[in-house]
Structure 1
Amino acid sequence: MLFFVFIFFVGNSVGQSYRKTDSGIRLSLPEMEVDLQFYTSGIVRVCKSPKSIQYHPESFSVVKTPEKVSFQVMEKDSIITLKSDRMDVYVNLKTGKVGFMNSDGHNLLSETDYGTQFTPVKYDKVSTCLVRQSFRLDSCEAIYGLGQHQAGKMNQRNQALLLRQENTEIAIPFFQSTKGYGLFWDNTAYTLFTDNDTETAFESYAGECVDYYFINGGNADNVIRGMRELTGQVPMNALWTYGFWQSRERYQSQEELVDVVKKYRELQVPLDGIIQDWQYWGTDQAFWNAIAFNNPKFSNPQKMVDEVHGLNAHIAISIWPSFGTKTNLYKTFQEKGMLLSLKGWPDSALPYDPFNPEARAIYWKAIKENMYSIGIDGWWLDATEPELNVKDYYAMKQNTYAGPYQKVANAFPIASVGGVYENQRKLSSDKRVFILTRSAFAGQQRYGATSWSGDVKSSWDVLHKQISAGLNFSACGIPYWNTDIGGFASCNFYPEGVNDLSYRELYVRWNQFGAFTPMMRSHGTCSPREIYQFGEKGTWAFDAIKKYIDLRYKMLPYIYSTAWQVSRYGDTFMRALFMDFPQDTIVHDLNNQYLFGRSLLVVPVTRPMYVGKDKTVNLKNIQTTDVYLPSGINWFDFWTGEQLLGGQKIAKETPIDIMPIYVKAGSILPLGPEVQYAEEKSWDTLEIRVYPGADGNFVLYEDEFDNYNYEKGLYSTIAFHWDNTQKTLTIGERKGDFPGMLKKRNFRIVLVDNQHGAGDNLMKKADRSVSYTGKECRIKLLD
C-alpha cells in the first residue's frame, strides 16, 4: 500500500555538513545522508538514505573492498567536489544531485536535480520503500546491458523495462555507455528501468537506500574490467566445454543417451558433451527433482557415465532448485524451515532457500553423493529464476534467510549457482566446475557459469532477437552465454519438427550462430535435434550442420586462448560492435552483427532463403545477406580471402552452408586439427593464418585443460606479432610451463589473400613451416 513520497532537496537557508572518510566523504543533508566512496580512482560508490535509516546493505554482487585512493575535496558555490586522478565527483548541496566528470572536466553522467525518492510501502507485514534515482543522459549517447531481454533492442535507450528474473528474461541492473562509463544499481528487488527524453531512472520495489556504483572506464573493455574488479573475475572452463553439446527434452533412458554418443562417433561428427534433462528421477511429480536416479530406465547410472566417458565424451545433468513433496530433500528442507512458500512449476514443488548457507550445503551434498560421486561432469541448473506462478510483490509473503523475498528476489540465481560452485571448489581442484543455468545476476561470472536464453520459441524472429539478447548480457560483464540451437519450442511454428524442411533451414542457420557463441549446444522440445535427424551425409542440412561443428573444433585454439584473455585480462567473447568501434555511430544500434573474440565479425542469417512455403527446396537460387563492415580498418572475407574496405555496406552471397564471417586486418588466427573431441589430438601442428593490412597480435594460451593448476601459474603463452610494414611475423619466446606441455611443435604459416588461406579447410600447403621449440623466431612473408 502506498503511503507518501519523500523527495529530498536542500535549500540555501539550511546548513549542511560533511566529513571526510578514509575513502570519500559523508554528507549530512536536511532529509538524507549521502556517502561517496572511492573503490578505485575510477570507481565510486554512491549511497543515499533517509537519516532515520542510515542503512547500507551488504551486496550479493560486490566482493571488492575500497582501495586506498588519493583524492582532494573542494567546496565552491554549494558544490562539493571530490577529485581523484581519474575523475571528479560532485554533489550539489541545494538539490542533492551527484555528478561525474572526467579529470579533464568533461561531463560523463549526472543525476537529475531532486532526483532521489523514497516511497514507503508495505507488503503484507514487510515495511520497506520504493527506491528511485533518476539521471540525465546525453541525447546522443547509446547504452547497453540490463541483462538479457527478448525485444530485439541493441541500444537500450527509450523504453520502460521491468528487471525481473523470468524464463527467457535475465535481470541485471547495470548499463554502460558509449561515453565510456558504466553504472551498476546494486539492488536485488524487482526494478523498473525507464529511459525517456527527460530522465533515465532505476526504481526498485523494495529497499532502504539508493546504492549504486559509477565506473569510469574510458572505453567498454575497461568498464567491464571495472565491473569484474567490483564483482569478481571469471575462472577458466575446461577445454572440452567449448566443443559441441547435444541435448534434447529428454532422453527416455540411459541406453538412448549413450546411443546418441555412439551414433556421433560412428558418423564421425565431433561431440564433447551430452545432457540428461529432467525425469531421470521418475515421472511422478511428487518425486520432482529428487536429485536421484529413481526412474527404472536409469537403473545403472554409473554404467551410463562410464560408457559416455569411454566414448571420450562428457555428461551433464539437469537439477532444479525446487522439490516434489515426496523427495527426501523436500522433507529435509521442510523440517529445517528452509523451503520457500513460492509456487512454481510443477505447482506442488517448492524451492529451497539458497540464501541460507546450510541449505546450500544440503543441496550440494545431494549433488555430490548422487551425481558427482559417479563422475557426472557438469550441472545444468535449470529454472534458477526461480520459475514462479506468482509475480505480484503484494502476494509474496515469504521470508528468506537473507530477509523478505521482496528485497532479494533477483539474487536467487547468484545465490544458488554460487553455492554449487563454491562447494565443489572446496571438494577438489582437479576438475573445473561446469554450470549451465537459466538465470543470472551481476557478479555471477565469478562462478564460471554459462547462462542460456531460456525456453525461446523456434522462429526466425526469435533467432534474430537472440543476437541482441546475448550481446547486451555480455555487456554486463558476464561472458558465458548461449541459446538452444533451433529454439527450445518448435511445436507452435513447426509441429512436424525435423520432418519439416522449413524447420531444417532454421536449425541450420541457428547452428551457424551457435558455433560462434561461448557454448555450442543443441537442445529443444517437440522434435529431436541430433544431426542424423536432419538427413544423411551428403544431404544439404546434415552437411551444413556438420560443417560448422567441424569449424568450431578447428577454432578451439582461438576460442581457448580467448577464454584466457577473458579470465586473465577482463576480455569478452561476444563483443557488441560499439566496444571496438565506438566512433562509428552506424554500429550503435546494429542488432544483427558482433565480434566473436577480437578478430571475427559474425553476421548470422536470420531469414529463410531456400525452403518455400510449399516446402520445396531451391538451393541454386543464391540469396544475399546485408553486411556492414565497420569503419577504420579493412576486412577479409573468411570464405574467399577477399580484402574489403571498412565503412561500407555489402551484400554477401549466403548459400545454405555460408554465414558471413569477416576477419579484421591484422588478425592472427590459429586453427587446430580435425578432431572428434576436443582433446583427441595435441596442438603440435597448428595453422597460423595472418591477415595483413595492419599490425596485429595474438597470444596462444595452453594449460592442462581441466583443473585449476593454472591458478598456480601452471600454463604457457606464446605471443605472435605481425609487423605489417616489414611483412614479418614474430613468434615470441614461450612463457611458462606445465605438466605435459609440448616442447616442440610445427606452425604452418599462411599469409591470407584472395583465394589463399580462405575457408574452413586447412591449407594443404603453407607459405612457411616453422619448427618451434620455445625460442623467439621471425618469419619474413611476402604479399
Structure 2
Amino acid sequence: MKRILIFMTLCCVWIGIFAVGSYSRKGNRLIFTLAKEKVRMDFCADGMFRVYHSVDGNFAPDEQWMVRNYDFSPVDYTVSEETDAWIITTGVLQIRAMKSPFYLIVSDKNGKVLYTEKDEQRFFPDSVRTSVVMQPDEHFFGFGERMDFMDQRGRKVYLNVELGSGPRPAVGGKDILRANYCPVPFMMSTRGYGIFFHTAYPTEWNMGWDCSDSYSFKAFGGDLDYYFIYGPDFYTMVDHYTDLTGKAPMLPRFAMGLHLGTYSGGTWKNEQMTSDTYPPTLCKRMRQEGIPFDLLWLDSTWRFFNTTFGNGGCTFEWRETFKSPKAMFDSCYAQNVQMVGLHVRSILDNGPRYKLLDQARGTGYVLYPNAQSEGQVDFFNPKAVDWWWKNGVMKVADLGCKFVKTDVGSSLRLKEGMKGCDGMDGSALHNLYPLAYAEAPFLKFKELNNMRGLTHTREGYAGIQRYPYIWAGDWGTEWQWFEPVIRAGLNIGMSGVGNWTHCMGGFEQYSAYDTELYMRWVQFGMFSPIAMLFGMDHPRYHEPWTYGEKAMKNFIKYDELRYSLIPYIYTNAYRLHESARPIMTPLVMDYPHDENTYNLSRQYMFGPWMMICPVTIKNALSQWVYFPGGKWFNYETGERYEGRQYKSFLTPLDVLPIYIKAGAIIPMQPVMQWVGQKPVDVLTLDVYPEGDSSFEMYEDDGLSTDYEKGIFALTRFSSSLKEGNWTFRAEKPQGRFVPEEHRYAVKAYLDFIPSQITENGKLLIRLSSEKAVHTQTGWYYDITKKRLFVNMAGNNRQEVELIVR
C-alpha cells in the first residue's frame, strides 16, 4: 500500500510539472513550453529582452523593416526554478516568470519592482494584449510624433499611420488628438523601463484611461511580441531601442543649414504661374538679402498633373511651364545651393510621354489590383524599386535632382481581405510602407551622389530614423497649432527619431497673414534639429521679405545664429547618430524625477547646454519659464538664475528666450551664407564656467561615409572654476581625421575681474575694448556684463591652456 501511495505521489508531481510547463535554453534564447502556449525570451543585453507569445507554438521569421538587429553578443544570465516561477537573473535585472498562468515580474538588481504584468487574458479574436500594473508615481513618454500630450498617463493612445479622424479644423484635414504622421509603438516609463511593441499592426495603449492602477498595450492583429528595455535613464532606453531598430546616419554637414522649399511660383490651382526661372530667382534673392541657406526643393507643382490621380499622382514629367529644367538646376548650383530636390508621390500616374502607370501595371511593380490606389509603387519589391528608379527618378536625377521629398507615405490601403507581400495583412503593410518608401531613394541617391544619403519624408514608423529626415506635415498657420508642433518634435525625439523638422510659420494660411506668428515660429524653427522654410500660401510661400522689415531682420538674426552654431549642432548630430540622444530634448529626459518637467512643451534643451523657450501666445508681453536644477544664464543679457524655480520675463517680439546651463561650452564658427563658404579659421568657445565641465566637439569631412569607418576627430574642451581661478583647456583633436586648422577665441561669463591671464604659460595683454579683441591677441573684461573676451594665439595643432586669475 505504501509503495502504491509513493508511486501515486510521484505521478502527481510529474503530472504537475508537465501541467505548469518546462523550459529549454540555447544561448540567449529561452523557450517556455506551457499548457496553452509557448513563450520565447531572447536576451539582447543585461537590461533588454524580447518576449514573444505563440498560441500555436510557431514563431514567425524575424522581420527586417522595423528591427534590424537580432544578433547580440552572449548575455550572462542564470535560470533557477521555484514552485510557482522561473527566476532569471542578469547583471542588472531579476525576472520572475510565473508559471500558471505565465506572466512576468521584473525588478532591478536591488530588488525594486519595475514592471508587473497582470494575470489577464492576452488573446482575443481581433487582437492581442498585455496588461500591466501601473504604479501611483509612474508616467509615460514617447509613442512617436504625438501633438496632443507629452505625459500620456491617464490617456488612451491609438497608433496607426494616418492623418487622424474626427472633426476637421478650418485648414487641412487633421485631428490633432489622433494625427499620426509618424507613430512609434515605443514608450518609456519614469520607473526606469521602456516597452517596444514589435508589431506593424495598429496598436492601442490604454495608459490608465479607464483604470487608475493598470495600463495595457494591444495590437489589432499579429502576434504578441514586445521588448522590455531597462534604463534606468531615458537616454539609455532610447539608445537601446535604436540598437534594435537602427541608428540615425549622419547627414551631410550642410544639412544643418537652412532647407528652403518652393512651389516655383504657383501652388495648386495656380500651376500655370510656375516657371523654371522662379527657383533660380528665389536663390538669387536669398543671396542678395544675405539670408544663409543650403538646400532647395521644388514641391509638387513642377510635375504634370494627369486627370487620373491629379496632384496625388507622380508622372515624373515636367509641367509645360518648365522650359529647361537642367538649366534651372545648373543655375541654382551656380549660386552655391548644395542640393536641389523634387517632391514626389508614391502613386504613379500617366503623363503625355512616359505612361508610367500603364508600364508599372504591366510589369506588376505596383500594388495592383489589391491596392485601393491602383498606382501605388510596390516599394517592398527590390525589382519594383529598381524599375521605379530607372524609369522615374533617373529622368530627373540626370538633370540635376539630388534628393526627393517622399510625400504621402500613408496612402497604402489594400482592399478588404487582400494580402500583400509575404502574405501580410494590409493593416500591417500600411505602417511598414513609409519605411520602404523612404528607404528606396535614400539608398539609391546615396549611391548615385557618392555621398551620404538624404530623404525628406512625412510619414514613418518604428525604424524611420534610418532614412532622415522627417517633417511634421501640413499644419495650418494658426497659433493653435504652434505649441502642438513643438510637442510633436519633443515626443518624436523621445521615440528614437531625432532628425525632425516642420514648416516655419505653418504650412497653409486660412485667414489674414500674421507677422507675429511668423516671427515667433521662425525663432523656434532655427532651433529645431533641421531648419526648414516652406509654405503653400500663394504667392508668399513664407518668403521672409514678404512679411516686412522687422520679420526680415528677425529671420536673418536667428538664421545667422544657427549658422554660427553649426559646430555645436553638428556635434549633437553625431551624438544622435552614436547614441540616439535627441538634438531637441524635452526637459523630462534630463530631470525625470522633477514632475514640473513632465508636460513642458514650451521649453526644451537644444543639445546639452541651451534651453530654448519659444513664445507661443499671441501678443504675449511676458512669459514664465521653469528653471530645473542647477544654475542658468540668460543668453541675451548674461543674467544668472538659480534652478528649481519659475520666473516671468518680458518677451519683446524680436527676442527668442534662450537660457544656458551653467558649465556650458559651446563651439561657434563665423557666420556664413552657406556651410563651407569659407574656412573656420577662428573657432569661438562660448563658455559659462561653473565647477568642472567639458564638451567634445565632433569633426569629419562632412560629406562621405568615412565616419562609418571611424574616420573622424573629437576635440575635448574643459572648464574648471575654483575659488576665483578659471582654467580652460583645448586638447589636440583625437582620431583618424585631421580637421582644418582653427585658432581659438573664448567668451566667458566670470563673476570676478581678472588680474592676469596666461596662455600656455605666456602672459596675455589686456586690451582696451571688445572690438580690439577681434583683431589682436589678448583679452578684455566687460565689467557691466561680467564677460571675458580672449583672442588666443594657439590653435588646434597643439594643446592650449588658458589660466585666468
Cα gap change, 1:676/1:343 in structure 2, threshold over 3 Å: closer, same or farther? farther
Distance in structure 1 (CA, Å) of the matches to 2:527 and 2:773: 22
Q: How is 1:108-123 mapped onto 2 (pairs within 5 angstroms)?
A: 108-117=114-123, 119-121=124-126
Structure 2 residue corresponding to 1:105, chosen from 101, 106, 111: 111
Structure 1 counterpart SS, 2:507: coil
Distance in structure 1 (CA, Å) of the matches to 2:707 and 2:398: 24
Structure 2 counterpart SS, 1:175: strand
Distance in structure 1 (CA, Å) of the matches to 2:151 and 2:214: 16
For 2:79, the equivalent position in structure 1 comes to 73
Distance in structure 2 (CA, Å) of the matches to 1:600 and 1:37: 39
For 1:403, the equivalent position in structure 2 comes to 424
Distance in structure 1 (CA, Å) of the matches to 2:77 and 2:370: 51
Conserved? CA contact 2:201–2:428, under 8 Å: yes
Distance in structure 2 (CA, Å) of the matches to 1:62 and 1:600: 33
For 1:578, the equivalent position in structure 2 comes to 588
For 2:697, the equivalent position in structure 1 comes to 700
Partner amino acid, structure 2, of 1:626 = W
Identity percentage over the alignment? 25
For 1:655, the equivalent position in structure 2 comes to 652
1:12, distance to aligned residue in structure 2 (A): 9.2
Q: How is 1:511-590 mapped onto 2 (pairs within 5 angstroms)?
A: 511-527=522-538, 528-536=540-548, 539-590=549-600
For 1:479, the equivalent position in structure 2 comes to 498
Say if 2:337 is the partner of 1:340.
Answer: no
1:753, distance to aligned residue in structure 2 (A): 5.0
1:137, distance to aligned residue in structure 2 (A): 2.5
Structure 1 counterpart SS, 2:707: helix
Q: Give the number of equivalent residue pairs.
A: 725
Distance in structure 1 (CA, Å) of the matches to 2:525 and 2:673: 18
Say if 2:175 is the partner of 1:172.
Answer: no
Partner amino acid, structure 1, of 2:54 = S
Structure 2 residue corresponding to 1:625, chosen from 610, 623, 632: 623
Distance in structure 2 (CA, Å) of the matches to 1:294 and 1:559: 37
Q: How is 1:350-369 mapped onto 2 (pairs within 5 angstroms)?
A: 350-366=375-391, 368-369=393-394
Structure showing greater relative contact order (alpha-carbon pairs closer than 8 Å, 6 or more residues apart): 1
Partner amino acid, structure 2, of 1:570 = A
Partner amino acid, structure 1, of 2:188 = Q
Say if 2:692 is the partner of 1:667.
Answer: no
Partner amino acid, structure 1, of 2:155 = Q
For 1:300, the equivalent position in structure 2 comes to 324
Distance in structure 2 (CA, Å) of the matches to 1:160 and 1:609: 34
Distance in structure 2 (CA, Å) of the matches to 1:431 and 1:583: 42
1:367, distance to aligned residue in structure 2 (A): 5.3
For 2:282, the equivalent position in structure 1 comes to 260
Distance in structure 2 (CA, Å) of the matches to 1:773 and 1:591: 39
Cα gap change, 1:248/1:375 in structure 2, threshold over 3 Å: closer, same or farther? closer
Structure 2 counterpart SS, 1:14: helix
Distance in structure 2 (CA, Å) of the matches to 1:239 and 1:763: 29
Say if 2:375 is the partner of 1:315.
Answer: no
Partner amino acid, structure 1, of 2:299 = D
Structure 1 counterpart SS, 2:608: coil
Pick which of 671-680 and 108-117 moved more: 108-117
Pick which of 197-206 and 594-603 moved more: 197-206
Q: What is the root-mean-square deviation in Å for CA atoms of aligned residues?
A: 2.6
Distance in structure 2 (CA, Å) of the matches to 1:259 and 1:349: 38
1:150, distance to aligned residue in structure 2 (A): 2.4
Structure 2 counterpart SS, 1:240: helix
For 1:607, the equivalent position in structure 2 comes to 617
Q: How is 1:257-296 mapped onto 2 (pairs within 5 angstroms)?
A: 257-286=279-308, 289-290=313-314, 292-296=316-320
For 1:202, the equivalent position in structure 2 comes to 217
Q: Deviations over 1:295-329 (max 9, x none)?
A: 12223221111111110113121111111255643
Say if 2:258 is the partner of 1:244.
Answer: yes
Partner amino acid, structure 1, of 2:227 = Y
Conserved? CA contact 1:642–1:753, under 8 Å: no
Distance in structure 1 (CA, Å) of the matches to 2:478 and 2:702: 36
Conserved? CA contact 1:353–1:400, under 8 Å: no
Say if 2:215 is the partner of 1:192.
Answer: no
Partner amino acid, structure 1, of 2:152 = Q
Conserved? CA contact 1:11–1:95, under 8 Å: no
Q: Deviations over 1:592-631 (max 9, x none)?
A: 2110111110111101117xxxxxxxxxxxx111100112
Conserved? CA contact 2:139–2:152, under 8 Å: yes
Distance in structure 2 (CA, Å) of the matches to 1:352 and 1:83: 48
Distance in structure 2 (CA, Å) of the matches to 1:257 and 1:542: 20
Cα gap change, 1:459/1:341 in structure 2, threshold over 3 Å: closer, same or farther? farther
Say if 2:157 is the partner of 1:161.
Answer: yes
Q: Deviations over 1:656-687 (max 9, x none)?
A: 11111111100101121121111112211121
For 1:124, the equivalent position in structure 2 comes to none
Conserved? CA contact 1:396–1:406, under 8 Å: no
Q: How is 1:84-95 mapped onto 2 (pairs within 5 angstroms)?
A: 84-95=90-101
Structure 2 counterpart SS, 1:100: strand
Conserved? CA contact 1:574–1:596, under 8 Å: yes
For 1:149, the equivalent position in structure 2 comes to 146
1:369, distance to aligned residue in structure 2 (A): 1.6
Partner amino acid, structure 2, of 1:186 = H
1:394, distance to aligned residue in structure 2 (A): 8.2
Structure 2 counterpart SS, 1:711: helix
1:720, distance to aligned residue in structure 2 (A): 0.4
Distance in structure 2 (CA, Å) of the matches to 1:330 and 1:647: 61
Q: Runs of 5+ in structure 1 lacking a partner?
A: 1-9, 122-129, 611-622
Q: Deviations over 1:28-85 (max 9, x none)?
A: 1111111111011221000001035444552421111232111100111311121111
Distance in structure 2 (CA, Å) of the matches to 1:474 and 1:19: 39
1:342, distance to aligned residue in structure 2 (A): 8.7
1:571, distance to aligned residue in structure 2 (A): 2.2
1:92, distance to aligned residue in structure 2 (A): 0.9
Structure 1 residue corresponding to 2:674, chosen from 664, 673, 677: 677
Conserved? CA contact 2:686–2:746, under 8 Å: yes
1:750, distance to aligned residue in structure 2 (A): 1.1
Q: Runs of 5+ in structure 2 lacking a partner?
A: 1-14, 164-178, 266-273, 754-770, 775-779, 781-788
Cα gap change, 1:266/1:645 in structure 2, threshold over 3 Å: closer, same or farther? same
Distance in structure 1 (CA, Å) of the matches to 2:16 and 2:332: 71
Distance in structure 1 (CA, Å) of the matches to 2:544 and 2:292: 13
Cα gap change, 1:136/1:362 in structure 2, threshold over 3 Å: closer, same or farther? farther
For 1:437, the equivalent position in structure 2 comes to 457
Q: Deviations over 1:453-507 (max 9, x none)?
A: 111111112101112111111101111111111111212xx2x4xxx3xx11111
1:142, distance to aligned residue in structure 2 (A): 1.5
Q: How is 1:380-459 mapped onto 2 (pairs within 5 angstroms)?
A: 380-386=405-411, 395=416, 397-400=418-421, 403-427=424-448, 430-447=450-467, 449-459=468-478
Cα gap change, 1:348/1:412 in structure 2, threshold over 3 Å: closer, same or farther? closer
Partner amino acid, structure 2, of 1:379 = V
Which structure's CA Rg is the greater one?
2
For 2:743, the equivalent position in structure 1 comes to 746
Structure 2 counterpart SS, 1:727: strand
1:530, distance to aligned residue in structure 2 (A): 4.3
Distance in structure 2 (CA, Å) of the matches to 1:177 and 1:312: 46
Structure 1 counterpart SS, 2:598: helix
Conserved? CA contact 1:239–1:706, under 8 Å: yes
